[in-house]
Amino acid sequence: MSEPETTALPETPTDRFRSGFVSILGRPNVGKSTLLNALTRARLAIVSDKPQTTRTLIQGVLTLPHAQIVFLDTPGIHKPDTVFNQRMMEAVRAALKERDLLLYLVEANAPVSDEEREDIRMVLGTGTPAILVINKIDLVRPKSKLLPLIDEYRQLGDFAELIPISALQGDGLDRLQDAIIARLPEGPAYFPPDYLTDQPERFLAAELIREKILHLTRQEVPHAVAVMVDRWEETPNLLRISATIFVEKEGQKAIVIGAGGQLLKKVGTAARQEMEALFGRKIFLELFVKVRPRWREDPAFLAELDWRSAFGKGAT
Ligand SMILES: Nc1nc2c(ncn2[C@@H]2O[C@H](COP(=O)(O)OP(=O)(O)O)[C@@H](O)[C@H]2O)c(=O)[nH]1
Ligand SMILES: [Mg+2]
């Protein structure tokens, strides 16, 4: 069948509840986190056009009347060259295990790369059913250009399905959602209906700060930034958050602060506004910038970063 819109779907019985674990995998920047947010209709993962925006596994749960899908967003698959990058790839490997379904995401506006061929061998090699998701179709005109690409991917292996989407514009998401549910086993909900993520609010806060920095800086700065929340104090009408932005060099610190503190101020305002909308509280946000040379190679620092993101605790 060559017309992507008309591919028949296995029928989803609506009387039997289905549930399962689904990982979203792919190269950096293909739109994995955008897709997680779109499918869960939430703001769980930060998004930017810089590689390695996502550094940890991010869970997002979608509960529907007839199904519950537990998604896992992952760091992009890449060659690990630092201790930090090795940790990220360990997370990717963990996300391949004990899954009901894998989504492998690629870009519609780029040819199939050697790295993707390698990934696809790895993904299909797990034996877990996989859907190939071709994202960013909004960048392809005319749409008929998609057909040879879909065919090329189809020849690379035995995908359960190949589905073109635009995560950004919401195109094809209903079809993708139905295809996912159709391939989940029958089973009960793992989480209560209003449960959305395992991420603590303070990790989300640190991530939002990092996202604003990624949007406003370039080149090596995004890679060198880590954010930790140091203080989280709830008062009846105000949430006080203090966070430290770590960079690796003095020059990067100067960039993040900006002339007259302008850039840091922009970061703070944008992050605070989004946190207020997300947490539904008035927020007082205080930001500090510190140099921590070679933190990406520092196991003690990485453990602290990991500990804080996993348990949501910070030094107070
Ligand atoms: N045009 C277009 N851009 C997209 C789409 N999905 C994601 N993007 C952009 O691609 C970039 C990377 O997105 P992100 O979700 O962070 O990718 P990830 O690294 O795979 O998680 C961001 O600038 C997104 O806005 C899409 O469907 N169409
Ligand atoms: Mg991401």
- Average pLDDT, rounded, for the chain: 92
Task: Determine the pLDDT at residue 15.
Answer: 66
Task: Determine the pLDDT at residue 300.
Answer: 92
- pLDDT, tens digit, for every residue of 220-267? 999 999 999 999 999 988 999 999 999 999 999 999 999 999 999 999
Tell whether ligand 1 has an atom less than 6 A from the beta carbon of residue 37. Answer: no
Asked if residue 3 has pLDDT above 80, the reply is: no
Asked if 33 and 58 count as a contact pair (C-beta separation under 8 A), the reply is yes
- d(CA 41, CA 71) in angstroms, rounded, equals 12
Asked if residue 312 has pLDDT above 90, the reply is: no
Give the closest residue (by CA) to ligand 1 atom 13.
Answer: 31
pLDDT band at residue 305, thresholds of 50, 70 and 90?
confident
pLDDT mean over 207-213: 97
Task: Determine the pLDDT at residue 11.
Answer: 53
Domains plus CATH for the chain?
Answer: 4-182 (3.40.50.300), 201-311 (3.30.300.20)
Asked if residue 315 has pLDDT above 50, the reply is: no
C-alpha 206 to ligand 2 mean position (Å): 15
Task: Determine the pLDDT at residue 2.
Answer: 46
C-alpha 195 to ligand 1 mean position (Å): 25
Pocket test for ligand 1, best of 23, 25, 27, 29 (most atoms within 8 A of CB): 29
Task: Determine the pLDDT at residue 269.
Answer: 98
pLDDT mean over 281-295: 97
pLDDT mean over 159-186: 98
Task: Determine the pLDDT at residue 243.
Answer: 97
pLDDT mean over 85-92: 94
229-235: Cβ within 8 A, 24+ apart? 229/202, 229/203, 229/205, 229/308, 229/314, 230/288, 230/314, 230/315, 230/316, 231/286, 231/314, 231/316, 232/202, 232/205, 232/314, 232/316
Asked if residue 4 has pLDDT above 90, the reply is: no
C-alpha 28 to ligand 2 mean position (Å): 7
Pocket test for ligand 1, best of 32, 34, 106 (most atoms within 8 A of CB): 34
pLDDT mean over 13-23: 86
Within a 10 A sphere around the Cβ of 152, how many other Cβ atoms?
11
Instruction: Note residues around ion ligand 2 (Cβ under 5 angstroms).
Output: 32-33, 53-54
Asked if residue 308 has pLDDT above 80, the reply is: no
Asked if 9 and 162 count as a contact pair (C-beta separation under 8 A), the reply is no
Task: Determine the pLDDT at residue 1.
Answer: 43
Asked if residue 62 has pLDDT above 60, the reply is: yes
Asked if residue 59 has pLDDT above 60, the reply is: yes
Task: Determine the pLDDT at residue 306.
Answer: 79
- pLDDT, tens digit, for every residue of 113-161? 999 999 999 999 999 999 999 999 999 999 999 999 999 999 999 999 9
CB-count burial class (<10 Å; 0-12, 13-18, 19+) for 58:
buried
Task: Determine the pLDDT at residue 314.
Answer: 36
Asked if 71 and 61 count as a contact pair (C-beta separation under 8 A), the reply is yes
